[in-house]
Copies of this chain bind each other. A is one copy, B any other.
Amino acid sequence: MVLAHMWRHRFKGDVFRWTLTRKAILDLLSSTLKHMSAQEIYDTLLKSYPGIGLSTIYRNLDLLSRMGLVNRLNIGEGKSRYEYRSSEEKAHHHLICTNCGKIIDYSDFLDEELDLVGKIEKKLARKYNFIVKDHNIDFCGLCKDCR
């Protein structure tokens, strides 16, 4: 069956349906290292799924990100980029080149980082009565090609 997939079970019941477009987006994002914009995802999928619509891509990226299956990134380009969020894969942070826009994922030093992050989260929660759900850490600068 074409639609059988590891994400299938997240779309049970009559609330969200498991569609070809959703599978296509997840397949694409989970198999690339790129951080793609909605337009790039659309351009890519159009080749294998002629007739697909850009608004459908937007609607699904929104849904998938609300479901926690993809992350929406914002590196100040005036548009969002998306990356697959695997449950097993270790978290990572970003290194962003302000010249060419390249995004490097890194997970070195993560233990130390996450240690501190955890500590900070606890303290912030107490001091500001804030429930921390997520965090972003990124470094901006010039990559090896642009320095």
Contact = CB atoms under 8 A, between A and B. Distances in A.
Interface in A91-147: 95, 97-98, 104, 106, 108-109, 112-113, 116, 119-121, 123-124, 127-144, 147
Contacts of A142: 130-131, 133
Given A130-B95, A131-B141, A142-B130, A124 B136 contact: no
How many copies of this chain does one complex carry? Answer: 2
Interface residues of A, number: 39
A128 B113 contact: no
A136 B137 contact: yes
Contacts of A80: 76
Contacts of A72: 76
A74 interface: yes
A14 B147 CA distance: 29
